[in-house]
Chain A
């Protein structure tokens, strides 16, 4: 749509696998388009499966907008490391980042779709979490 990218909530994808993260990001880009700032990270510092707090913080930075950022994660460590990354952000940003309780691929597509319409951080998170069984 025609809304300014800078006004839209950004989306960060955090997977244990860089391939999963990149693939999910590809789906978002192709299905939703470029109206939403998007970043992904996957794998640990050694290039193996895992997640890395510093890399997650860098991804948040790349997708950052004043409207905030939602994070989509896969399994346990991705979630705890994402929460740690959020904790380590400066105070002004911390409150504008939300980790979604939603499946990573579908959640990223849905969150980006919602964000592309200019919805608030809270709305984007809620829409992604509507995917999960009530």
Chain B
């Protein structure tokens, strides 16, 4: 980044139940990687900044629901990168279901949401 070029900065609130866990972290890094710009993420407006294209580092952030995520990008498509990432977070990572690792695709049995209502046992079963 040249001295005259200001990074693009924006923030978004984590609204999905699980926060920035494994699956959201994968989606975030995949989206960040689709831009040429340097893209970073921080939990505070003044950093420390983490490479948003690093799945290992983004997974270590472990931000919970309600956290404000700050994005900073530099490069030709920095505007688009920050815009797309803010949008992804604001959309809740396209999660439709609630659960410990909510996703937008049907969950296999071993990942059925813990909080989901269990099938009510019939009295006769007892």
Interface residues in chain A, defined as those with a beta carbon under 8 Å from any beta carbon in chain B? 1-3, 26, 30-33, 109-110, 113-114, 116-119, 127, 130-131
In the bound assembly, the distance between CA atoms of A114 and B30 in angstroms comes to: 8
From residue A94, how far is it (CB to closest CB) to chain B in Å?
27
For the complex of A and B, 10 pairs with smallest distance between CB atoms: A117-B33, A113-B55, A130-B56, A1-B34, A113-B26, A110-B55, A31-B26, A31-B23, A1-B30, A116-B30
Establish whether residues A109 and B33, one from each chain, have CB atoms under 8 Å apart when the complex forms: no
From residue A127, how far is it (CB to closest CB) to chain B in Å?
6
From residue B80, how far is it (CB to closest CB) to chain A in Å?
14
Establish whether residues B23 and A1, one from each chain, have CB atoms under 8 Å apart when the complex forms: no
In the bound assembly, the distance between CA atoms of A109 and B23 in angstroms comes to: 10
In the bound assembly, the distance between CA atoms of A32 and B31 in angstroms comes to: 11
A-B contact pairs, 24 of them (CB 8 A): A1-B31, A1-B34, A2-B34, A3-B34, A26-B108, A30-B103, A30-B108, A31-B22, A31-B26, A32-B30, A109-B22, A109-B26, A110-B55, A110-B56, A110-B59, A113-B26, A113-B29, A113-B30, A113-B55, A116-B30, A117-B29, A117-B30, A130-B56, A130-B57
In the bound assembly, the distance between CA atoms of A113 and B26 in angstroms comes to: 6
For the complex, count residues of B whose C-beta is within 8 A of A: 17
Interface residues in chain B, defined as those with a beta carbon under 8 Å from any beta carbon in chain A? 22-23, 26, 29-31, 33-34, 53-57, 59, 103, 105, 108
Closest to B23 in A: A31
Closest to B111 in A: A30
Establish whether residues A1 and B33, one from each chain, have CB atoms under 8 Å apart when the complex forms: yes
Residue among A2, A26, A31 with most chain B CB within 10 A:
A31
In the bound assembly, the distance between CA atoms of A119 and B53 in angstroms comes to: 11
From residue A33, how far is it (CB to closest CB) to chain B in Å?
8
From residue B38, how far is it (CB to closest CB) to chain A in Å?
14
Closest to A119 in B: B33
Using Cβ atoms and an 8 Å threshold, which residues of chain B touch A31?
A: 22-23, 26
